[in-house]
Amino acid sequence: MKKISFLLLMALCFGACQNKDTKTTDAETADTTKYPYTFKKVQGWKINNDHKNGLTALSIIKSFENMDTATMGKLLADSVWFNLDGYKFKGTRIQFLNQIQGEFAKMSSFKIDMEDMASVINKDKSEEWVSLWYKQVTSTKDGKIDTIQLYNDFKIKDGKVQGLSEYIQHPMK
């Protein structure tokens, strides 16, 4: 009888220690936080585990660093927009590449030190963004060197860059 009781007790303990699959749902829990602002649309952003958007954003920065408009053109959508420090552009890929080629003509080099990246997608999969944080050292053909800290938000659609918002921090002097 002791052996049966001991075996039964062991079986119960063993059964209690087993990992049970918990039921999970995609249903969102209601956020009851009282924010000081009301959001027009809650996007429900989550990390995008598909690495292709991150690769696209990093590749376009690499093509910029290499002053390679041919590669850059392959990564841009037909129609693009850019909001940069003191520069705004909205137009075709060809128009942008012509403008950037003019800027590249003034430069001798770019050096990028990439720090971090985040790729996100909203819950209905209608928007995908990649954010990059990096330092850029620029040298012009007339010998001027500038170092800036950058934060870029790339809007990606169908594997192509549609737009870019860039935020720059100039070092304190």
Structural domains counted in the chain:
1
40: left (phi over 0), alpha (psi -120 to 50) or beta: alpha
pLDDT in tens, 40-67: 888 889 999 999 999 999 999 999 999 9
**In whole angstroms, what separates CA 129 from the centre of its chain?**
5
The identity of residue 107, as a single letter, is: M
State residue 39's pLDDT score.
83
Instruction: Tell me, yes or no, whether 9 lies in a domain.
Output: no
pLDDT over 80 (residue 23): no
Instruction: Tell me, yes or no, whether 163 lies in a domain.
Output: yes
- Residue 28 banded pLDDT, cuts 50, 70, 90: low
pLDDT in tens, 141-173: 999 999 999 999 999 999 999 999 999 998 777
CA pair distance 85, 63, nearest whole angstrom: 19
> Sheet holding 160-169: strands in order across?
46-47, 107-121, 128-140, 145-157, 160-169, 76-84, 87-92
pLDDT over 90 (residue 2): no
When pLDDT is averaged across residues 108-115 and rounded to a whole number, the result is 97
- Residue 20 banded pLDDT, cuts 50, 70, 90: low
Note down the domain range covering 81: 49-169
DSSP 159: T
State residue 151's pLDDT score.
97
**pTM summary value:** 0.78
State residue 81's pLDDT score.
98
Instruction: Tell me, yes or no, whether 20 lies in a domain.
Output: no
Instruction: Tell me, yes or no, whether 13 lies in a domain.
Output: no
Going by C-alpha positions, the residue among 116, 117, 111, 172 that lies closest to residue 136 is 111
Instruction: Tell me, yes or no, whether 30 lies in a domain.
Output: no
**What is the separation, in whole angstroms, between the first and last Cα of the chain?**
85
Instruction: Tell me, yes or no, whether 105 lies in a domain.
Output: yes
Q: Which CATH number does the domain housing residue 111 bear?
A: 3.10.450.50
Instruction: Tell me, yes or no, whether 24 lies in a domain.
Output: no
